[in-house]
Amino acid sequence: MPRKFLPDDTLRDFTCVDAEYIRKHRIRGILTDLDDTLAEHNRPQPHPAFETWLSEMKRLGVRLCILSNNGTNRTKAFAERHGIAYIPNAYKPRAYYYKKAAGVLNLSVQECIFLGDQLFTDIRGAKKSGVFAVKVQPLGNRSNFFIRIKRRLEDFYG
Ligand SMILES: [Mg+2]
């Protein structure tokens, strides 16, 4: 894998960004993908741990901005429900909106990390714009993966 697609860190999901991680990396802002990073693709409800995690981030003074290639309706509805900043139609991997998102939070890109599940859009763009790039496992694929395993077990024992 060429370096330009290599994340700076790889985590299971957003909940791994906890108080210790925030302190260790001196994070003041999180720029984050939406689909399959915070919620399954095009599902209105977030991952079950999202609201607790969000309050923890707010308590720590960490600012959040969603940066999504999805359209305005989807991104706005999700972000406004949770009271977080957002940029829809972000054209990742273009660097422009990553820098813009840090600006929305009144932070520099060096004070932010980026969370996303896709190498060629999320991670590539974060690397281009100088944001610490964190790759997470896609939520949707992961549940599909478990569903597939479950089906196989069901077939086997059924
Ligand atoms: Mg995604």
Question: pTM to 2 decimals?
Answer: 0.88
Q: How far is the CA of 118 from the centre of ligand 1 (A)?
A: 6
| The predicted structure's pLDDT at residue 86 | 98
Distance 8 CA to ligand 1 centre (A): 17
User: What confidence score (pLDDT) does residue 74 get?
Assistant: 95
Cα-based distances in Å from 114 to 85, 89, 154, 155? 14, 16, 38, 40
37 Cα–ligand 1 center, Å? 6
Query: Measured in angstroms, how far is the CA atom of residue 155 from the centroid of ligand 1?
Result: 31
Domain locations in the chain as residue ranges = 3-157
Of 112, 90, 98, nearest to 35 by C-alpha is: 90
Look-up: residue for tokens 């330009």? 4
How remote is the C-alpha of 85 from its chain's centroid? 13
> Dihedrals φ, ψ of 31, to 5°?
-95, 130
Give residue 156's pLDDT.
Answer: 66
Strand arrangement, sheet containing 9-11 = 9-11, 132-136, 112-116, 29-32, 63-67, 85-87
Backbone angles phi, psi at 87, to 5 degrees: -130, 110
Q: What is the pLDDT of residue 158?
A: 55
**C-alpha of residue 41 to centroid of ligand 1, in Å:** 7
| CA of 139 relative to ligand 1 center, distance in Å | 9
Domain 3-157 fold:
Rossmann fold (3.40.50)
Q: What local confidence, expressed as pLDDT, does residue 148 receive? A: 66
SS3 102: helix
At 15 the pLDDT is 97
Question: What pLDDT shows up at residue 153?
Answer: 73
Residues of the chain with pLDDT under 70: 141-151, 154-158
Ligand 1: distance of its center to the CA of 150 in Å?
A: 24
Q: Quote the ligand 1 centre to 9 CA distance (angstroms).
A: 16
- For 31-63, the pLDDT digits (tens) are 999 999 999 988 889 999 999 999 999 999 999
